[in-house]
């Protein structure tokens, strides 16, 4: 990570080089693995703060942590919009944040203040927000926006305080409206990251609700952009082991039973191949959750193999695209092809032939 020759420019960096605006929106910590891929160069995804680097036995002064790269890195400091959770990775341990949580940094740096000083030094119009009302009140001519709404990951949609914490849809809308200012176009990364964390806990209720929230964010992006000049690509970085059993009666509740198994006991529509929802067989009888259990949001769904955290799945994932050059996103492809196709469509990658000029991607 310390050898520049080992680094690969992200698609966001290519947009920045061409003078286009860029942004990151996520429901996880903004320093989490997927959003970090937009701006960071790191040997370890867990090095989100200098404390994490030190705990792994490495030197933070040699191995720059992800939060530090977000504020000072070439790509990170040029991001126009940053919205999500993870406030603790930007604050020193001796400082208590707005909601009463301590920071996690050991270098005594307040990276939020450093971000503010940085924007002041270049005379930019900026705003730091940490509540929903502040986000919705951001001036439309803001050039740089940093929003950190939780000390860690943002709350699940079903658990969040709707008066203080914005939805993914609201963050997406705010980001697009700011990035649309100007005529050079923009790149925006939007992640419904808590779909993944809910599946790891086999919380099917929360995972599917987060998926619905992600769908709302996609629809909002469609509603406020023009298909003629805006390419929208929707995909996932991996699958999970949740399965959807067939043969349930038409109109059945997905959080219910699919039918009767050969052991004369009911079986659920939703199941996981592994995870914390595993229950051992007692007296030769398979565990069958009750309707009351399945109606609870925090119910851990049945798993066939016990694991503390459910694993990712090995399935191919879908990829959906709308807008200029969307027809290129078809068939089976390696995930690393996607940014090259976006670069081609938006004419930001000098190493490949340019597609027809588009305003945004």
Give the chain's mean pLDDT. 95
Sole residue written with tokens 């469509």: 345
Predicted confidence at residue 56, as pLDDT, reads 96
Quote the CA–CA distance of 105 and 10 in Å, as a whole number.
Answer: 26
pTM as predicted:
0.95
For residue 242, what are its two tokens? 């949740």
Section 5-17 average pLDDT:
96
Can you list the domains of the chain with their CATH numbers? 4-237+315-346 (3.40.720.10)
- Using 50, 70 and 90 to split pLDDT, how confident is the model at 91? very high
181-212, pLDDT tens digit by residue?
Answer: 978 999 999 999 999 999 999 999 999 999 99
Section 322-334 average pLDDT:
96
What phi and psi values does residue 258 have, to the nearest 5 degrees? Answer: -90, -30
Q: Is residue 174 helix, strand or coil?
A: helix
CA dihedral of residues 52, 57, 62, 67 (deg, nearest 10)? -10
Burial of residue 316 (CB within 10 Å: 0-12, 13-18, 19+) is: exposed
151-161, pLDDT tens digit by residue?
Answer: 999 999 999 99
Q: Is residue 311 helix, strand or coil?
A: coil
Quote the CA–CA distance of 192 and 27 in Å, as a whole number.
Answer: 6
Contact 343, 361 (CB under 8 A): no
23-57, pLDDT tens digit by residue?
Answer: 999 999 999 999 999 999 999 999 999 999 999 99
């Amino acid at each position: 990570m310390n050898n520049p020759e080992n680094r690969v420019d992200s698609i966001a960096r290519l947009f920045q080089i061409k003078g286009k605006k860029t942004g990151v929106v996520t429901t996880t910590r903004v320093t989490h693995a997927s959003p970090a891929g937009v701006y960071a160069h790191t040997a370890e995804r867990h090095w989100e703060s200098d404390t994490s680097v030190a705990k792994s036995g490495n030197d933070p002064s040699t191995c720059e942590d992800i939060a530090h790269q977000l504020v000072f890195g070439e790509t990170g400091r040029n991001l126009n919009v940053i919205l999500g959770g993870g406030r603790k990775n930007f604050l020193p341990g001796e400082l208590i944040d707005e909601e009463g949580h301590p920071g996690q940094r050991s270098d005594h740096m307040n990276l939020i203040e450093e971000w503010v000083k940085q924007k002041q030094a270049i005379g930019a119009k900026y705003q730091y927000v940490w509540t929903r009302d502040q986000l919705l009140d951001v001036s439309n001519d803001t050039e740089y926006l940093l929003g950190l709404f939780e000390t860690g990951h943002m709350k699940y949609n079903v658990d969040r305080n709707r008066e203080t914490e914005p939805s993914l849809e609201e963050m997406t809308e705010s980001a697009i409206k700011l990035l649309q200012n100007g005529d050079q176009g923009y790149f925006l990364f939007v992640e419904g990251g808590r779909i993944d964390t809910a599946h790891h806990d086999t919380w099917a209720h929360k995972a599917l609700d987060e998926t619905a929230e992600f769908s709302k964010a996609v629809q909002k992006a469609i509603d406020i952009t023009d298909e003629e000049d805006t390419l929208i690509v929707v995909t996932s970085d991996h699958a999970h082991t949740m399965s959807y059993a067939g043969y349930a009666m038409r109109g059945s509740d997905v959080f219910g039973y699919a039918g009767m198994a050969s052991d004369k006991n009911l079986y659920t529509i939703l199941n996981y191949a592994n995870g914390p929802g595993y229950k051992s067989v007692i007296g030769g009888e398979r565990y069958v959750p009750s309707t009351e259990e399945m109606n609870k949001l925090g119910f851990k769904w049945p798993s066939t193999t016990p694991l503390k955290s459910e694993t990712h799945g090995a399935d191919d994932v879908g990829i959906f695209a709308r807008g200029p050059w969307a027809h290129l996103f078809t068939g089976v492809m390696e995930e690393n092809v996607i940014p090259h196709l976006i670069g081609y469509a938006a004419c930001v990658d000098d190493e490949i032939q340019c597609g027809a000029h588009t305003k945004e991607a």
